[in-house]
Structure 1
Amino acid sequence: MEKLVIATRRSQLALWQSEYIKAQLQEFYPDMQIELQEFVTKGDKILDVPLAKIGGKGLFTKELEVAMLEGTAHLAVHSLKDVPTQFEEGLQLAAVTKRFDPRDALLSNKYSSIDELPQGAVVGTTSLRRRMAIMMLRPDIVLKDLRGNINTRIAKLNAGEYDAIILAATGIQKLKIENEVKYFNPIPTDVMIPSMGQATLGIETTTDPRIVELVSVLNDKDAHIESTIERSFVDALQGGCQVPIGVKATIIDEHSIRVQAIVGLPDGSESISEDITADIEEFETIGQTLAQTFIDQGAKELLLRAEELAFK
């Protein structure tokens, strides 16, 4: 192929990620023309309604997928946490890149940690998973919806609309905007378990074997193992961003892998969690096996209740 077209959203972070992948591909294929095609997705346009109420994170990928299926673009670069576990016919996850910092982070101009927040502090997040985690730690905190791109969210914090906000650490680090707030503190995964695939880039393509082979050079073995476990766990529970699910697989050594997982209600009043160590050679089945453990404890019923609460 002489030219590759990368479909991308126009947000600053999406463009950074697409440029990052373009640069990596250019190293492998220096003579190939690689260009970006920019889109504004439905998820970018609707900023006044929580994602759980309007269809979930797939709203950020639909327009890009249409472009690939129509042949005007060849691949799309996503934050893997935004990529649904099931794909439309003709599309697939062709590669996952080396993972960046998977943690969530607290941003504030007044307080350096969740523990430091005063009684009744206003914290911004629309993520049901983060809401659950915060409520389990600090049920006195007042949660307020927070939509928009990273820069918009930080501007709202700096305007005094929130005492603190919770974002993925990796986005702040990629854009090098940690200093735009007084306190930027990543939260340990033992305190707040990330969403599946957080801080990994997922390369989506059509099933065209030529394209799949071209982007396969970007696939990172460790990220593939970790994301396979996380995505199969969520897939088995049939959960997405409409329900509070956290799952993080972490390779310990060449033989073992740690998996932290939690599901629950958005208000933190009920939850099921596990923290296991498993044989890394079993990575293709670990997620499903762990999900079954959750299902046996009533996870599907709990998630149905969580979804009902999210849509109220």
Structure 2
Amino acid sequence: MTTVRVASRKSELAMTQTKSMIAAMQKIRPDFLFEIVPVVTRGDEIVHVPLSEVGGKGLFVSEIEQLLLKGHADLAVHSMKDVPAELAEGLTIGCVPVREDPRDALLTRHGEQLRDLPMGGVVGTSSLRRAAQIHHLRPDLVIQPLRGNIDTRVKRLQQGDFDAIVLASAGLSRMGWSHLISERIDPHDILPAIGQGALAIECVDEEGEVRAMLRELTHEPTLQCVQAERTLLKLLGGSCQVPIAGHAEQVDACIRLTGLVATTDGKTVCKATSVGGASAELGQAVARQLQEQGASDILAAYV
């Protein structure tokens, strides 16, 4: 029997996502034996410093990529929003399954929505993207850093450390915690992270039975939307070290992509939308519009 080793971070959310993908793969290849290879990444270990100060989202991926390259794992399940625009050489994203809700979720202690939070309310997030857009909408709110696994963040809200916290709706849904959400924030108000809500199954860039299996699990509309978003991210040269957002969605036979670059204080926001049929060209079009609005100058300040 062929054994497929699947690398995953040890967090409860990561394990939940990985087990769901293994269940889907097992249906396609019941003759395969799937084995989880748990990994603790630097991003998991460094929880008291914002990601933007210690290397960005690659901290959740780089150790896992080394396992794949060294042959110690065959696949890795990532949250797409944690995957850098550039993969390690020799690796590829072999599968993008159907996307969960891409929106950000507001969690509050008393069920308030973003517009209802009291003046001077404290909102927990370590995302520069979220902080910039919250500042733009509600400059009176106070943003304080919040790192850690999803369960740790929820506990800190419940303990009263914050009036509200912002998490990804997808992670809460996958954990079965949708009931905790006070508001699923409209992307017109807060644009999601690149790839938010989608999963990425990474593997070595070689043909074989594993790649063939992954192709069967790929959801083409999600793949096309994610490719448009990641093209935008790559052209802007961004990571979580800069306040960049992007969201693509199917509109009839086309894709509509909206991108955003902002200063962390939310005072300057560049935002652009384009509709088209080709992912790469769409990403290029939105990147060009943002650069024409001055996004390059904003991004240069974070290099």
TM tier relative to shorter chain: over 0.9
Could you tell which deviates more after superposition, 205-214 or 16-25? 205-214
What amino acid does structure 1 have at the position aligned with 2:205? T
Kept after mapping to 1: 8 A contact 2:111/2:182:
no
Q: Paired residue for 1:198?
A: 196
Matches within 5 A, 1:33-112: 33-112=33-112
Q: Is 1:285 the equivalent of 2:281? A: yes
Alpha-carbon distance in structure 2 between the residues aligned to 1:30 and 1:42? 34
Q: Paired residue for 1:233?
A: 232
Q: Paired residue for 1:208?
A: 206
SS state of the match for residue 116, structure 2?
coil
Alpha-carbon distance in structure 1 between the residues aligned to 2:108 and 2:64? 34
| Cα RMSD for the two superposed structures | 1.2
- Quote how far apart the aligned CAs of 1:92 are: 1.2
- Quote how far apart the aligned CAs of 1:184 are: 2.6
Q: Paired residue for 2:249?
A: 250
Q: Render the CA deviation track for 1:218-252: whole Å, top value 9, x for unaligned.
A: 11100111001100001000011000111111101
Q: Paired residue for 1:219?
A: 218
Q: Paired residue for 1:149?
A: 149
Q: Render the CA deviation track for 1:10-53: whole Å, top value 9, x for unaligned.
A: 10110011101101100000011111110111000001100000
Alpha-carbon distance in structure 2 between the residues aligned to 1:108 and 1:290? 34
Q: Render the CA deviation track for 1:176-203: whole Å, top value 9, x for unaligned.
A: 1234x4x532101111110111000001
Could you tell which deviates more after superposition, 104-113 or 128-137? 104-113
| Count of residues in Structure 1 that have an aligned counterpart in Structure 2 | 302
Alpha-carbon distance in structure 1 between the residues aligned to 2:244 and 2:62? 22
Unaligned 5+ segments in structure 2 are: none
Alpha-carbon distance in structure 1 between the residues aligned to 2:188 and 2:240? 20
SS state of the match for residue 231, structure 1?
helix
Q: Paired residue for 1:117?
A: 117
* Structure 1 stretches of at least 4 aligned residues deviating more than 3 Å after TM superposition: none
Alpha-carbon distance in structure 2 between the residues aligned to 1:266 and 1:287? 23
- Quote how far apart the aligned CAs of 1:297 are: 2.3
Alpha-carbon distance in structure 1 between the residues aligned to 2:276 and 2:151? 41
Q: Render the CA deviation track for 1:102-122: whole Å, top value 9, x for unaligned.
A: 000100112421111011000
What amino acid does structure 1 have at the position aligned with 2:265? D
Kept after mapping to 1: 8 A contact 2:169/2:178:
no
Q: Paired residue for 2:295?
A: 299
Kept after mapping to 2: 8 A contact 1:111/1:117:
no
Unaligned 5+ segments in structure 1 are: none
- Quote how far apart the aligned CAs of 1:154 are: 0.4
Q: Paired residue for 2:161?
A: 161
Kept after mapping to 1: 8 A contact 2:258/2:286:
no
Q: Paired residue for 1:265?
A: 263
SS state of the match for residue 182, structure 2?
strand
What amino acid does structure 1 have at the position aligned with 2:242? V
Alpha-carbon distance in structure 2 between the residues aligned to 1:292 and 1:272? 11
Alpha-carbon distance in structure 2 between the residues aligned to 1:223 and 1:235? 18
What amino acid does structure 1 have at the position aligned with 2:28? F
SS state of the match for residue 114, structure 2?
coil
Kept after mapping to 1: 8 A contact 2:106/2:164:
yes
Alpha-carbon distance in structure 2 between the residues aligned to 1:283 and 1:93? 16
With normalisation by structure 1, the TM-score equals 0.94
What amino acid does structure 1 have at the position aligned with 2:171? G
Kept after mapping to 2: 8 A contact 1:178/1:184:
no
Alpha-carbon distance in structure 1 between the residues aligned to 2:206 and 2:70? 13
Alpha-carbon distance in structure 1 between the residues aligned to 2:220 and 2:155? 37
